[in-house]
Amino acid sequence: MLLFFGFFITLGTAVNASAIVEVINKDLSITGTGAGGLVIFPVLGVLAYAGLFYLIKSKFHRTSK
pLDDT, residue 10, reads: 93
- For residue 63, is pLDDT > 80? no
Give pLDDT tens digits for 12-55. 899 999 988 988 998 887 777 767 778 888 999 999 999 988 88
Of 34 and 65, the one with more pLDDT:
34
Q: Where are the domains of the chain?
A: 2-57
Cβ-Cβ contacts under 8 Å for 62 (sequence gap 6 or more): none
- Please give the model's pTM, rounded to 2 decimal places: 0.72
Query: What does 1-65 look like in DSSP terms, one character per residue?
Result: -HHHHHHHHHHHHHHHHHHHHHHHTT-GGGSGGGGGHHHHHHHHHHHHHHHHHHHHHHHHPPPP-
Q: 65 pLDDT band (50/70/90 cuts)? A: low
